[in-house]
């Protein structure tokens, strides 16, 4: 079902930004606005919304039926076949909607090769529309916040069961598979991203994406995972220790824990995003590990697992009621180990809420 409230809001922004239309390729953006996003492959497709409030969709023939079912009488559907290519159909639609030689915003998932063809062959001016679309959904409704709470609770429950599941001798892959299995049992729609299970020296790589290492005694494991629930995402990280923990590891963990807690306690409506980053970063710097803190402190979350607001240096944006974002300081020492603690925070009618309740104290798995 079309999200007409936000489509109308987007039309106003399109006008304010001096655009003639916005193009939204299959993505969380499209799911948010249209209530459905088809599987994205190499074939060009997506929704166009004009400054005059007209909607039309360019679709490969094999997806035509599902787009007609979704769009109904709210917009025209133009289809194209593999033998003809999409540019001819797109040119016809641009002529009909007076978009030739005009300026069109483009969302973040549009394929660059297609955009280059459109720009050169149809002579339109393309602009980055990613920020516009993120701004559209940066403030969550009460209903959306409740879905975030449910998704976060699922992540907490998965972590509780993972602590019982993890043991020496299993693969990182086994833990990843277990995460997906548990979320499905709980009624999640799916994963919000591919889980990160980084063990031993792999934990020093913040976005480690392999899964073949065997879990060993005295390993540190970073677990970073989340699910989708009714379109909204969860995302949490915890660091656990297998069998034992050294004095050095305890010291580093305490620094990360204090940085996480301090940043979360600092959050309130009206403070700048960059100042939250600074609170956590200063604690880690003062302990001599500034160079080992490689990432921003946080990112927004909602229909996408990473969206505005970004909790980072240089972002002067003031935090507002309805914003949801992560707080995830970490220390990553190359070749040795890394640690991260991540919660989702939301500024709601209740005040500042930490959605994740999973324990953050040191957990040694025996």
pLDDT digits (tens, 9 = 90+) for 178-216: 999 999 999 999 999 999 999 999 999 999 999 999 999
| Residue 89 shares a structural domain with residue 237 | no
On the question of pLDDT at 40 being above 90, the answer is: no
Nearest to 340 by CA among 356, 319, 317: 356
User: How far is the C-alpha of 128 from the C-alpha of 324, rounded, in Å?
Assistant: 23
Last residue of a domain, one of 118, 137, 156: 137
- 84 and 223: one domain? no
**Cβ burial, residue 304 (10 Å; 0-12/13-18/19+):** buried
- Mean pLDDT for the stretch of residues 112-119: 96
Domain end, chosen from 107, 137, 167, is at: 137
Banded pLDDT at 255 (limits 50, 70, 90): very high
Q: Each residue of 230-246: pLDDT tens digit? A: 999 999 999 999 999 99
Same domain, 192 and 115: no
What pLDDT is stored for residue 68 in this prediction? Answer: 96
- 129 and 146 both lie in a single domain: no
- Structural tokens at position 90: 């797109």
Task: Using alpha carbons, select from 331, 324, 205 the residue that is nearest to residue 257.
Answer: 331
Q: What angle do CA 235, 351, 278 make, to 5 degrees?
A: 60
Helix (H) or strand (E) holding 164, with range, is helix 142-165
Q: How far apart are CA 283 and CA 211, in angstroms?
A: 32
Q: What is the pLDDT of the chain when averaged over all its residues?
A: 97
Q: Apex CA 322: angle with CA 320 and CA 327, to 5°? A: 75
The CATH number of the domain holding residue 37 is 3.40.350.10
pLDDT at 337 over 90: yes
Q: How many domains does the chain have?
A: 2
**261 and 173 fall within a common domain:** yes
Domain encompassing residue 84:
4-137
Within this chain, do residues 214 and 235 fall inside the same structural domain, yes or no? Answer: yes
Q: What is the pLDDT of residue 143?
A: 96
Average pLDDT over residues 18-47: 95
Residues 262 and 162 in one domain: yes
Q: What's the pLDDT tens digit per position in 128-185?
A: 999 999 999 999 999 999 999 999 999 999 999 999 999 999 999 999 999 999 999 9
> pTM (2 decimals)?
0.93
How many whole angstroms separate alpha carbon 150 and alpha carbon 157?
11
- Does residue 30 sit in the same domain as residue 92? yes
């Amino acid at each position: 079902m079309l999200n007409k409230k936000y489509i109308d809001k987007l039309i106003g922004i399109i006008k304010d930004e001096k655009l003639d239309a916005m193009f939204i390729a299959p993505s969380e953006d499209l799911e948010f606005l249209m209530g459905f996003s088809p599987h994205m492959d190499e074939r060009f497709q997506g929704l166009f919304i004009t400054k005059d409030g007209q909607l039309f969709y360019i679709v490969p023939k094999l997806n035509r039926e599902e787009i007609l079912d979704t769009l109904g009488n709210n917009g025209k559907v133009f289809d194209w076949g593999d033998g003809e290519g999409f540019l001819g159909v797109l040119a016809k639609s641009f002529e009909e909607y007076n978009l030739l030689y005009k300026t069109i915003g483009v969302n973040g998932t549009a394929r660059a090769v297609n955009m280059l063809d459109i720009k050169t062959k149809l002579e339109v001016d393309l602009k980055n529309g990613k920020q516009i679309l993120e701004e559209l959904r940066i403030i969550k409704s009460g209903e959306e916040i409740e879905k975030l709470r449910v998704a976060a609770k699922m992540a907490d429950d998965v972590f509780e069961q993972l602590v019982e599941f993890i043991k020496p001798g299993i693969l990182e892959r086994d833990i990843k598979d277990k995460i997906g299995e548990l979320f499905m049992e709980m009624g999640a729609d799916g994963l919000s991203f591919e889980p990160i299970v980084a063990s031993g020296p792999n934990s020093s790589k913040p976005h480690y994406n392999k899964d073949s290492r065997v879990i060993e005694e005295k390993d540190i494991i970073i677990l970073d995972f989340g699910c989708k629930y009714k379109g909204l995402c969860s995302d949490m990280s915890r660091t656990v220790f297998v069998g034992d923990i050294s004095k050095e590891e305890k010291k580093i963990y305490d620094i990360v824990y204090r940085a996480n807690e301090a940043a979360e306690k600092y959050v309130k409506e009206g403070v700048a995003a960059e100042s939250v980053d600074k609170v956590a970063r200063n604690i880690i710097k003062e302990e001599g590990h500034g160079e080992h803190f490689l990432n921003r402190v946080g990112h927004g979350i909602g229909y996408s697992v990473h969206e505005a607001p970004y909790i980072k240096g240089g972002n002067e944006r003031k935090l507002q009621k309805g914003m949801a974002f992560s707080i995830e300081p970490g220390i990553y020492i190359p070749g040795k180990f890394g640690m991260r603690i991540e919660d989702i925070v939301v500024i709601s009618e209740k005040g500042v809420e930490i959605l994740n309740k999973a324990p953050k104290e040191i957990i040694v798995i025996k």
